[in-house]
Structure 1
Amino acid sequence: MDKFKSLEGLDKFLISTGNILSISDITKKSNVNTSEELVDAIEFTLREFQSNGILENQSDNILVISRHNDNLKIDEHELSELKIGFKVFLNEDDPDSLMEAIQKALMVLKVDSIHDVIVTFKHNTTGKQNIDLSHVQNTWVVLENLIKKGQIRQIGIADIEESTFRALHGWAKVKPSIIQINLSTCCVVPPTLQSFCKENDIKLLTHSDPNDILPAGSIESIFGAPLNLKWALRFLVHVKCRGVLTTKGYLLNLCKNEESV
């Protein structure tokens, strides 16, 4: 890794950007898509880490790279006043990856529970939403178990076909409370989906996140070497009574490609 010598010798690590709303170089930019924002956040985090950061070695020997002052602002409010949500970007239907992402984010935010989690899967190169039910079921069980444990209150999914979403709703023990669709790939919300969500008290939301949140080219540009992105997670913290977004950040799991070792 020519660009970041401090990371040499690390085969697997997490990057925690902290609250990017506290980074003026990011917030002052306009019309930036999610991938561009994430690249800026990673580069800022790594620069700060290079200057005065410390590698945190967790109990499972995963190293966490974070900013010196992450400025999460969570302790400025009672937890009951906050609405905390995660969106997990998975590159494969791996239950362990989903569990790891959620548990690591809870540790970073220093909270025991959150309001909602939305999971999305990377599609094939054509970008078609061809995720079938069996692809979702393995990871959905993880979300259901976290609901039972009281760590999550609502669960949802993004960017799957209406037929698959209906099948998931019929199969699941804990029904999805949220579905997100990307209007860049579905310019008009199907009326049948609108009706289904209304009938079943499901929040129908839109978003503009790219399917591949951190492309391979961006990763190599940042680190000077090819790495695998196992998962990425975005956290959002709102103050309930005012609906104000106070905290936004990312957590990522990166590891070396086998062929690059």
Structure 2
Amino acid sequence: MESLTTTNGSDNAKAILDHAKTLKLHTGNLVNRCRLKKNCPSSPSEELQDCIRATLNDWLSTTQLPSEGGISDTVDCSIPEAREAIKPEERDELKVSVKLFLCESNQSSIPEALEMVCQTLAVSQLDSVIIAPCGLPEGEVQTLAHLQPVWEELEALVRSQKIAAIGTSDLDKDLLEQLYKWAQVKPSSNQVNLASCCVMPPDLTAFAKDFDIQLLTHSDPKELMSAATFQQAIQESTKELDVADWRLEWVLRYSIIVKSRGIIKAKGYLVNARKASP
């Protein structure tokens, strides 16, 4: 994709990014964007990378340096006209579903991520949140101990009525059962990746049926986006910017579904990244 670093807006944006310590990016509604494109991405990873590049390019071409008050340490990279907030009169007709991908083992970022999507969509509560914890080192197996800190953060948000229902991703029957028995707020759903499991495991199906847990399918890879791929997406839009210190903290994907028709009205990504301390 062609770099926009030669424009005045892009020079301003580069100065802002050079100074920044935190980058918050919102892709806007991808349903509208996909309708305008002839070819949509073939995978979630490709879709996210494409969206980051497109959003950065649009933002780079229009950004101005602040006239007063100095440059902020936090950059909000989004296009205002691409946002799609939910109108209060529409809220009861819509379901807001979220999947949160943690790229680092830092459960304290969960409330921040979910508050950000609530503000972006102008809602006070999310109907469902599915958590995808960060990947483990090769050879290490996920256990209940890995899930507990993450789940406790979600339970607190359910109690404060920020979330109505919470779910898991890629748990086998044994781990799902362990979580269910331990948790105060029980998982309402569990996603299963049919790319690695073409048929739902019978023991998982039986357990989910007995305890009223909805089994859903998905096609997300174990790592939605690597640090290197994220840095590449930034670099392709800002060729003169040093991106080596930027690390991805979390990615959130939301869907707004019309309940009566079962169609997706809006879909988008929120991305949060930080620059490593020198």
Query: Fold match, TM over 0.5?
Result: yes
C-alpha RMSD over aligned residues: 2.6
User: CA shift at 1:70, angstroms?
Assistant: 1.6
- Bigger share in strand: 1
Q: Hey, what does 2:108 align to over in structure 1?
A: 96
Q: Hey, what does 1:249 align to over in structure 2?
A: 268
Question: 2:34, 2:40 within 8 Å by CA — same for their partners in 1?
Answer: no
User: CA shift at 1:27, angstroms?
Assistant: 5.1
Write the deviation string for residues 48-93 of structure 1: whole angstroms up to 9, x where unpaired.
1112257999xx9643210131241622951000000110001234
Provide the identity percentage: 34
Alpha-carbon separation, structure 2, partners of 1:219 and 1:16: 14
| TM-score, length of structure 1 as denominator length | 0.88
Task: Tell which deviates more after alignment, 71-80 or 245-254.
Answer: 71-80
Q: For structure 2, list consecutive stretches of 5 or more residues without a partner in the other structure.
A: 6-12, 236-242
Structure 2 residue matching 1:233: 3-state secondary structure: strand
User: CA shift at 1:45, angstroms?
Assistant: 0.8
- The 5 A counterparts of 1:1-261 are 5=14, 6-24=16-34, 28-30=38-40, 32-53=42-63, 62-72=74-84, 74-75=86-87, 78-124=90-136, 126=138, 130-224=141-235, 225-226=243-244, 227-258=246-277, 261=278
Larger radius of gyration: 2
Q: Hey, what does 2:8 align to over in structure 1?
A: none
Q: For structure 1, list consecutive stretches of 5 or more residues without a partner in the other structure.
A: none
Question: 1:133, 1:164 within 8 Å by CA — same for their partners in 2?
Answer: yes
Write the deviation string for residues 117-144 of structure 1: whole angstroms up to 9, x where unpaired.
0000232365x79221011111111111
| Count, aligned residues | 255
Write the deviation string for residues 16-66 of structure 1: whole angstroms up to 9, x where unpaired.
111111214875324610010001111111111112257999xx9643210
Task: Tell which deviates more after alignment, 42-51 or 218-227.
Answer: 218-227
Distance 1:61 1:100, change over 3 A: farther
Distance 1:54 1:84, change over 3 A: farther
Write the deviation string for residues 178-213 of structure 1: whole angstroms up to 9, x where unpaired.
000111222322101000001111100110011111
Question: 1:53, 1:65 within 8 Å by CA — same for their partners in 2?
Answer: no
